[in-house]
């Protein structure tokens, strides 16, 4: 999936060649990071695994082939595109046998190099998403999300009550399911109750069940969610919405692990792990007398706060790619590219609806994308540079170079020269870009 903000590392001791390759990579919508030696690449902490490594073979000290061997010793594997100034056949054979994705001879053709990088990104993306879902179905690599992952791994093996707090749409249910899946109860039921979706008059029956004749319409005995979750996990979503009059019975069930069905007098014993979630400030509700303090402290044994999407912007490109892949497969769409301009705009957006809003936007965009390029419906609230809004490419048949130039022009508001102009974004001279625009039939229609 090209042009999706994937990370590409470049290791080359020739500064001019290194920066030229980096500019080319960035012009295609990828993120490029550069290193001048294999030793520097290994020594500097890298926060995320690259989707491709462009590697010069003839490096001083640790050669490119030696670096490849070292990287192969510590998974996950990194797709490598080798560059060399010598058309050395034995070297090529050795690199390919060791797992190199491609081997190109300098001076390398720009389109050949970009094609090799795109192949690496496409083949690597599925593994990237799967590795990022090692805890539940959560996708991301930001420090904020990794903090949550570590907390999940700490608390999951215990039976402690967990209170998950966070804004609407941040993925609190995913956190709860991840805790269950990593616990000793994973083979037992995960039962969810949305306390805000059930009227207060019916919530007691939903939680604890009722006997026949307990109230008008109770024509048969009904098991409650506590009984259904026996030896498993009960997830109480939107716990802040539970009525005050029901809270004492819930507190007793949590403390004693027993209760009576509505209309009954026989005590039922259960073994249930409780996870609760809320988008409200329960401590403030306690101070205002809207939530019982003893119940709050019983739920708040191990608190977790899920960060809003605006605090984990590093995850936005990966989430967009993940949902694009999911819905494209579901709708049988052959979407191969997310334009860099759209990705940049969506990363800058504040996402008040968090992941849920992003997911809905991607689904709508996939529906509206008949070709291979995702036609993103950019929210109106996104700040634009120069009041320019991104538009999808006019034709699915445009060349990669034409698409890169069009994306750069859209990002720059049609301005060619200057520090923020399209030429600088593409790493080209202004006159060179103008010549290519003329050749490709691109007119100045972006002001």
pLDDT in tens, 402-447: 777 887 787 777 778 766 677 766 666 677 777 778 777 776 544 3
pLDDT digits (tens, 9 = 90+) for 329-349: 888 888 877 887 788 888 888
Between 100 and 260, whose confidence is greater? 260
Q: Which CATH superfamily is domain 143-309 in?
A: P-loop containing nucleotide triphosphate hydrolases (3.40.50.300)
Task: Return d(Cα 379, Cα 383) in angstroms, integer.
Answer: 9
CATH 1.10.8.60 domain range(s) in the chain: 312-440
Which CATH class, in words, describes the domain spanning 7-132?
Answer: alpha beta
Top-confidence residue, 109 or 316: 316
Helix (H) and strand (E) counts in the chain: 18, 12
**Residue percentage of the chain with pLDDT more than 70:** 80
The model's confidence at residue 247, banded by pLDDT at 50, 70 and 90, is very high
Q: Region 56-80: what's the mean pLDDT? A: 79
**Environment class of residue 251 by beta-carbon count within 10 Å: exposed (0-12), middle (13-18) or buried (19+)?**
middle
Handedness of CA 49, 22, 375, 337 (dihedral sign): negative
Separation CA 345–CA 244 (nearest Å) = 44
pLDDT, tens digit, 9 for 90 and up, residues 201-245: 789 988 998 888 888 777 888 888 899 889 999 999 999 999 999
Summarised one tens digit per residue, pLDDT across range 30-62 is 788 899 998 888 887 655 566 788 988 888 888
Name which of 343, 345, 324, 338 is nearest 393 in CA terms.
338
CATH 3.40.50.300 residue window(s) in the chain: 143-309
312-440 in CATH: which number?
1.10.8.60
Q: Per-residue pLDDT for 312 more than 80?
A: yes
d(CA 181, CA 188): 10
3-state SS class at 304: strand
Mean pLDDT of the chain: 80
- Per-residue pLDDT band for 376 (boundaries 50, 70, 90) equals confident
Q: What is the structure's pLDDT at 86?
A: 57
380/389 Cα distance (integer angstroms): 9
Where do the CATH 3.40.50.2300 domains begin and end in the chain?
7-132
Cα–Cα distance for residue pair 385/25, rounded to 1 Å: 22
Quick: pLDDT tens for 140-199: 778 888 899 899 999 999 999 999 999 999 999 999 999 998 999 988 889 999 998 888
Q: What is the pLDDT confidence band of residue 95, given thresholds at 50, 70 and 90?
A: low
């Amino acid at each position: 999936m090209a042009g999706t903000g994937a990370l590409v590392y470049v290791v080359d001791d020739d500064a001019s060649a290194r920066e030229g390759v980096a500019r080319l990579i960035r012009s295609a919508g990828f993120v490029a990071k550069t290193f001048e030696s294999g030793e520097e690449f290994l020594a500097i902490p890298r926060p995320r695994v690259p989707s491709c490594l462009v590697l010069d073979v003839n490096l001083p000290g640790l050669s490119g082939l030696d670096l490849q061997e070292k990287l192969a010793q510590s998974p996950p594997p990194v797709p490598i595109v080798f560059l060399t100034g010598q058309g050395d056949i034995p070297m090529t054979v050795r690199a390919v046998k060791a797992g190199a994705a491609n081997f190109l001879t300098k001076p390398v053709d720009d389109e050949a190099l970009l094609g090799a990088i795109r192949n690496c990104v496409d083949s690597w993306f599925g593994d990237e998403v799967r590795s990022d879902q090692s805890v539940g179905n959560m996708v991301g690599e930001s420090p904020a999300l990794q903090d949550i992952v570590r907390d999940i791994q700490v608390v999951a093996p215990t039976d402690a009550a967990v209170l998950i707090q966070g804004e609407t749409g941040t993925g609190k249910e995913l956190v709860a399911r991840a805790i269950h899946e990593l616990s000793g109860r994973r083979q037992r039921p995960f039962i969810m109750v949305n306390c805000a979706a059930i009227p207060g008059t019916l919530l007691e029956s939903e939680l604890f069940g009722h006997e026949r004749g307990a109230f008008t319409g109770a024509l048969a005995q009904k098991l409650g969610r506590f009984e259904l979750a026996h030896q498993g996990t009960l997830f109480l979503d939107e716990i802040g919405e539970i009525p005050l009059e029901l809270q004492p019975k819930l507190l007793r069930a949590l403390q004693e692990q027993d209760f009576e069905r509505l209309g009954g007098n026989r005590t039922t014993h259960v073994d249930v792990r409780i996870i609760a979630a809320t988008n409200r400030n329960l401590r403030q509700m306690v101070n205002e007398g809207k939530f019982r303090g003893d119940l709050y402290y019983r739920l708040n044994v191990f608190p977790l706060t899920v960060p809003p999407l605006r605090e984990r912007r590093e995850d936005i490109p990966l989430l967009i790619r993940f949902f694009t892949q999911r819905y494209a497969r579901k709708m049988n769409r052959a979407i191969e590219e997310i334009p860099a301009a759209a990705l940049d705009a969506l990363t800058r957006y504040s996402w008040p609806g968090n992941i849920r809003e992003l997911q809905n936007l991607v689904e709508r965009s996939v529906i509206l994308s008949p070709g291979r390029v995702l036609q993103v419906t950019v929210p109106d609230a996104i700040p634009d540079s120069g009041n320019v809004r991104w538009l999808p490419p006019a034709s699915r048949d445009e060349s990669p170079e034409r698409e890169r130039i069009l994306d750069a022009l859209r990002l720059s508001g049609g301005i060619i020269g200057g520090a923020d102009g399209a030429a600088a974004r593409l790493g080209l001279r202004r006159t060179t870009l103008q010549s290519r625009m003329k050749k490709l039939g691109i007119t100045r229609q972006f002001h």
